[in-house]
Amino acid sequence: MKPSGKSVSTAASGMEPSTRARAMRLRDGAMSPEHVEIAAEVPVALVYNSISHVVMMATPLDLADFGLGFSLSDRIIEEPGEMQAVEIIADARGYQVAMRIPPARSFALRGRRRNITGLTGCGLCGVETLDQVHLSLPSIAGGPTVDVAAIHGALAALPALQPLNRATGAIHAAAWSNLVGGIVIAREDVGRHNALDKLIGAMTRLKIDPADGFAVITSRCSFEMAQKAVAARIRVLVAISAPTSLALAVAERTGLTLVALARTDSVTVYANPERLSGTGLGAAP
């Protein structure tokens, strides 16, 4: 069935990323009413060739980037050119990202179709078998050398590029930095996986070479986040929180340089430190 509803762009005014609500603040023993910003969380159906694949809970921003990035990081398509069309469709229930891909890709997708809602914090919701968990990933040997000072610089710059999180306090970000620590692009979402998919989609659309910098995520580095980064051929992934055991295994198997517990004054290198330069990193484990 062809998706129905109103076709809109991702910049449409109807896509509000937050809403106003009333709350009561308790401070110094006194209660006072105030208006607060609440992050929007809406169902977003990812639809391929008129067949719904999964419904994700997401922030209604940059949905075209989300659809493209998810399609690449989940290996639904192998090359950006296989995304033949993307249309954002809004109705009273939520949004659809209606995408057209080659028939062969659509046919292969039916064999691993997700069929339940993907919750905000879940990167594997809807996967039906263990075989669908571990994607076939490329080796990402080589790539840039990143100075630790650039990582610190990107971490310091990122908060200014998180307007929605400043307003609501409930939003993750994924950002792309150049090799000197300047953030080129950032994407926000209530879901950490969604934010990374949006970043991957934006990088692809803008033709940013993943060998020209590194990614920063404001969350823990779970298995799915490492897998998405490798699928996008990102060589260096910097996470604010710690990695999981499976994320480390992905990094070691593929060549991903995994930096976590990243702060503006310290980082911990978990895998493939040879891509990093800077004081003391020669002694990294």
CATH of residue 205's domain is 3.40.140.10
Catalytic-role residue among 122, 170, 211, 284: 122
Residue 109 and residue 195 in one domain: no
Range of the domain at 277: 146-283
Query: Does 154 fall in a domain?
Result: yes
Among the candidates 132, 161, 195, a domain finishes at 132
- What mean pLDDT value characterizes the chain? 86
- pLDDT at position 278: 86
Structure tokens at 199: 């970043």
CATH number at residue 87: 3.10.20.10
Identify whether residues 15 and 125 lie together within a single domain.
yes
Residues whose CB falls within 8 Å of the CB of residue 161, separated by 6 or more in sequence, listed in order: 173, 175, 183, 186
Considering the domain architecture, whether residues 155 and 274 belong to the same structural domain is answered as yes
Give the model's confidence band at 210: pLDDT under 50 very low, under 70 low, under 90 confident, else very high: very high
Q: Do residues 272 and 179 both lie within one domain?
A: yes
In the beta sheet, which residues pair with residue 243?
221
Q: Is the pTM of this model over 0.95?
A: no
Judgement on whether residues 150 and 279 belong to the same structural domain of the protein: yes
Which two three-digit tokens encode residue 138? Answer: 């490329």
Asked whether residue 158 falls in the same domain as residue 206, the answer is yes
pLDDT at 93: 85
- Please give the share of the chain, as a percent, with pLDDT higher than 70: 84
122 in catalytic set: yes
